Amino acid sequence: MEGRANIDTLIRGWRNGDAASRDSLIAALYPELRVIASAQLRRERDASFSSGDLVNDAVLKLVRLGRIDLNDRAHMVALAARVMRNILVDHARGKATDKRAHAKVELNPEIDGEARVDLMALDSALLRLGAIDPDLAELVEMRYFGGMGLGDIAEVTGCSEATVKRRWRAARAWLADALENPVERS
């Protein structure tokens, strides 16, 4: 577990404001972040990003935050996945203001099949879920956008895997209903 110990050391360094630790951590996790970016871009049909561009934009946003209170590798990956999702949502919003149709994206097919979902509707549903239950919204982000398994999520959240599975079923049901019955804006 030398790699894991090194990642933990780099995370502690970044938490303490060490830019060299931050840079080394990003370099160590870059291949994993690129896989996540590639998966997100495969679902986003009209994005004009490469996976490297998306990772670089996400990393820039994280670096601008300065010190980040990260717990572990999984927390860093989940945070980066959330930032990537936000970048894609902002990109879709920009296109929508240009009078283009909303892009439909495919969620993680290993999790929910091949169904495509409107990215802006999904973002709206996640914001609503976050207002009701921030932990469930974070679970959805980790699972769909971070590609994390239930065991990894259990480790990050400190819950048992059985609890994560129950909460995952509840989050999926809520999200399916929210996407099927979106809130109308006036």
pLDDT, tens only, 48-82 = 778 888 888 998 888 888 778 888 888 888 888 88
Q: What is the DSSP string of 40-95?
A: HHHHBTT----HHHHHHHHHHHHHHT-S----SHHHHHHHHHHHHHHHHHHHHHHH
pTM of the model: 0.60
Q: pLDDT (tens digit, 9 = 90+) per residue, 115-172?
A: 566 777 777 888 888 888 888 888 888 887 777 788 888 887 888 999 999 999 998 8
